[in-house]
Amino acid sequence: MCGRATVVNPDGITEKLYGYTKKFTPSDWKPRYNLNPREEIPAVYYDPFLKQRVLRPMHWNFIPSRLANRYRVAEFDAHYSAFNARIESVASAPTFQEAWRSQRCLVVIDGIIEWAGSKRNKIPHLLRHPDRAPFAMAGLWNRWHDANTNEELWSCTVIVKDADQWYGRFHDRMAVLLGAESYDGWLDSSLTHGQLEMLTSSAFHADDELEYFPISTLVNNPANDSPDCLQRMSDTQFASLTYRERERNAQMDLGI
């Protein structure tokens, strides 16, 4: 799954790489070192009203259009985790099926945070491009709008699939990561066939595109959001954590 990310350099999401011709970004668009679901995450999509590709921060938990008012939006957001959409059911699930047909997006980040190790001693790792460039996850977007108050909320979800061997060291599910050669095909809503095959076969991460290393346990707390969260864990710190884990397992085996 994908439930924690980084956007250390939001200005690195350039027009040249992602092809957008308009952007809606706040003046204080700041780096995020520990970005969580239900917070704003950058997304690039084709806007059918503006007739152009747009970059916009979106609420990272998909909000259906059918919700009647802000109260219902808040209720759905609090009780339903729609920040990931399973590839096996995304085309037919009531929450996502309309967006699947025509509202595809690139959810753009520059790092994924995952945990590796046993359940009792998971160590956080940062997965990123070696040159720290942004990369894209396949996603879906939606615009919720209240006609009475003219309020709106743009939201998105990340499509996830079974992890392959490379990613399986962290989790049994993974975000669909797309290479630049797939961006246009994914965003083109006129293409109605082949999307599932594109997502299933995508393996952008597995050919030395991403590196990974252990980072500070500060990132375990979702409230922490500073450069210190991504501080590379020293070999000594890593060895200490893994030694304590081996010692704990040995004690459990002995019934201590």
Q: How far apart are the first and last CA of the chain?
A: 35
Closest among 186, 180, 12, 28 to 111, alpha carbons compared = 12
Residues 1-46: tens digit of each pLDDT: 679 999 999 999 999 999 999 999 998 899 999 999 999 999 999 9
pTM exceeds 0.75 for this model: yes
The owner of tokens 């027009």 is 15
- Structure tokens of 109? 């980040």
Mean pLDDT of 160-173: 92
d(CA 15, CA 127): 24
Mean pLDDT of 57-73: 97
Strand partners, 141: 156
Per-domain residue ranges of the chain:
5-253
pLDDT value at 71 more than 80: yes
The pLDDT of residue 246 is: 47
What CATH number labels 5-253?
3.90.1680.10
Cβ atoms of residues 145 and 65 within 8 Å: yes
Residues 83-122: tens digit of each pLDDT: 999 999 999 999 999 999 999 999 999 999 999 987 778 8
Residues 175-228: tens digit of each pLDDT: 999 999 999 999 998 877 778 888 888 776 666 789 999 999 999 999 999 999
Are β-strands 104-109 and 173-175 bridged in parallel, bridged antiparallel, or unpaired? unpaired
